[in-house]
Amino acid sequence: MNFLDKFRDPELCRRLLDLIHKESKGVRFMEVCGTHTVSIFQSGIHTLLPDNVVHLTGPGCPVCVTHDREVAAYLELAARPGVTIATFGDLMKVPGPKGRNLKTAQADGADVRVVYSPFDSLELARKLQDRQVVFLGIGFETTAPAVAATLKAAREQKLANFKVLPFHKLVPPALRGLLSDPEMRIEGFILPGHVSAVIGLDPYKFLGDDCGLPAAITGFEPLDLLQALLFLVRQKNTGGHEVVNQYRRVVADAGNPKAMQVMYEVFEPADALWRGIGTIPGSGLAIREEYAEHDAFRALNLTLPEVPPLPGCRCGEVLKGKMRPDQCPLFKKACTPATPVGPCMVSTEGSCAAYFKYQLDA
């Protein structure tokens, strides 16, 4: 038996589901990880929960939370002569102003390369010495340490033509930002496994200590998710507000100190824009002064242009848990994976794409 098969055991899943049905007095929970979003939908858990356990999808997809102004900035950069854009593939079809994206930029003659690691973009810079190679730094704490290590290598190897456009986001400040919205009614969180493998448990403690909310770091298999949901149900029933690590086979309470050290050696906290939420203080990562020559903002004199929001797109409300994807009037009509209007339908971790793929009709 495959190790992970044990976390998909149908009988154990039934037992946990029965306990959730039996014990739940009602709880509204939010997951803040795109992989959790897909796992919940793919496994069918969304359709098996009692009616009083309400699932809200949160801002857990890094492509989805990338702001319209950030998309406009990298599209402007792609159009400049002598610039090569290196990016992960899930950004290629993210819609920007006037329906443009990196695919259309490529068709118009921009040099856009899909890479599988930030270190691949470093190799590009080594080969294309006559061009500015700009890696698009999109992602949470999961990817930021690898980008930081790439920046360190670029400085050590004196690759002055290598740049990073830093749009990384930090999860704990985003949770604070969500909870500051008086319209939000969240009674518990399922916390991201990948991010937590880097940052550990302590950065989430404010959820219990300051906000009085329970939360669980968990994995991505059905038993992981159901165990976390049963924990949230029981915490809600007793008025508890514990924040726990239920993913100990991967996540240490202290996280990965080495990864954090590298990340903060190169980056420093900064205010950041989030789609649908706006500016959240301290929720982004800016490149430190010591690495300024590799900062696309500084070195290439780039700013964030003012642009109108995408017409008709309701991704902002979906990312804040205020709307289900199927409640958007464009869903499955104007907006499909083949013709995405917003990023939540583009990314493989997007809520709209998951609803569409697994045909979920709540």
pLDDT tier for residue 362 given thresholds of 50, 70 and 90: very low
Q: H/E element holding 123?
A: helix 118-127
* Domain ranges within the chain, ordered by starting residue: 5-62+182-245, 64-170+255-300, 314-358
Topology given in CATH for the domain delimited by 5-62+182-245: Rossmann fold (3.40.50)
Do 5-62+182-245 and 64-170+255-300 have matching folds? yes
358 pLDDT more than 90? no
pLDDT tier for residue 148 given thresholds of 50, 70 and 90: very high
The pLDDT score that the predictor gives to residue 1 is: 58
Six-digit token string for 93: 């079809």
Q: Do 75 and 96 form a contact (C-beta atoms < 8 A)?
A: yes
Six-digit token string for 175: 């949770």
Among 220, 185, 230, smallest CA distance to 56 is for 185
Mean pLDDT of the chain: 94
Average pLDDT on 230-250 reads 97
Topology given in CATH for the domain delimited by 64-170+255-300: Rossmann fold (3.40.50)
Site of tokens 């830093």: 166
pTM of the model: 0.94
Site of tokens 């409300």: 317
